[in-house]
A and B are shown apart, each in its own frame.
Chain A
């Protein structure tokens, strides 16, 4: 079974530029998560989708971050414009069910973003 796919793996941009990340979850997984992991810290949830609907985006900086999950499968996360503090690894995860207690999240390799 293929895992969670993400691209690109690395991205370097200058502040105030825009950037987009792509995630393809495990086939059949209903729930998709985007996390931000700053160096030396644990991942922090940005947004959670169930199928193509948003379940939780309480920690998404909506003035600059946006995300969508087209047709309940792939997802894109966009930052516009980027700030220096956005430098981090952006992790995508998916889970089979609707995010219940026993639903395991599987993570992709992440996109490492450097903002100069």
Chain B
């Protein structure tokens, strides 16, 4: 089967940098996606890594290492509005997403 693990909670202060790790087990996948979800809101696409390495989109970066079955999301210059849940998800055959349990990020002033 396919499974993902990520920390349940992370706390950081405004202006800091935080890294959310994701490890996975799978027999095959297209890539690793990251989504942000505010309380009561829709999951919003942040980033996608099809290949190993770093992808940068503004304050957010995402990394994938297929050999280590590992990825992370890096958030820089944290803002209060970044407080949300963050999900890593495997993009599997047919395009379906297999999500982790999510990491709740709390940004403190």
A residues lining the B interface (CB < 8 Å): 3-4, 31, 33, 40-45, 48, 55-56, 91, 93, 95, 97-110, 112
Question: Quick one: which of B4, B35, B94 has the most chain A CB within 10 A?
Answer: B94
Q: Are B45 and A106 in contact (CB under 8 A)?
A: yes
Segment with Cβ contacts to A, from B13-21, B63-71, B75-83, B96-104: B96-104
B72 CB-CB contact with A under 8 Å: no
Q: Are A99 and B99 in contact (CB under 8 A)?
A: no
Complexed CA–CA distance, A109 and B40 (Å): 8
**Contact A91:B30 (CB < 8 A) given known A56-B94, A102-B50:** no
Complexed CA–CA distance, A87 and B102 (Å): 19
CB distance from B23 to the nearest CB of A (A): 14
Q: Are B96 and A33 in contact (CB under 8 A)?
A: yes
User: Number of contact residues on B: which range applies?
Assistant: 20 to 34
15 A-B pairs in the complex with CB atoms less than 8 angstroms apart: A33-B97, A41-B101, A41-B102, A42-B100, A43-B99, A45-B96, A45-B98, A48-B94, A48-B96, A91-B43, A93-B43, A95-B95, A100-B30, A101-B30, A101-B91
User: Looking across the interface, which residue of chain A has its beta carbon closest to that of B97?
Assistant: A105
When the two chains form the complex, which single residue of B40, B45, B94, B102 contacts A42, counting CB atoms closer than 8 Å? B102
CB distance from B11 to the nearest CB of A (A): 17
B98: chain A residues at CB < 8 Å are: 45
Complexed CA–CA distance, A44 and B31 (Å): 17
**Contact A107:B44 (CB < 8 A) given known A41-B102, A42-B100, A42-B101:** yes
Q: Are A107 and B94 in contact (CB under 8 A)?
A: no
Complexed CA–CA distance, A98 and B94 (Å): 8
B40: chain A residues at CB < 8 Å are: 112
CB distance from B97 to the nearest CB of A (A): 6
CB distance from B25 to the nearest CB of A (A): 15
Beyond the given pairs A33-B97, A40-B101, 4 more chain A to chain B contacts, judged by CB atoms under 8 angstroms and listed by A's residue number, are A3-B42, A95-B95, A107-B35, A107-B44
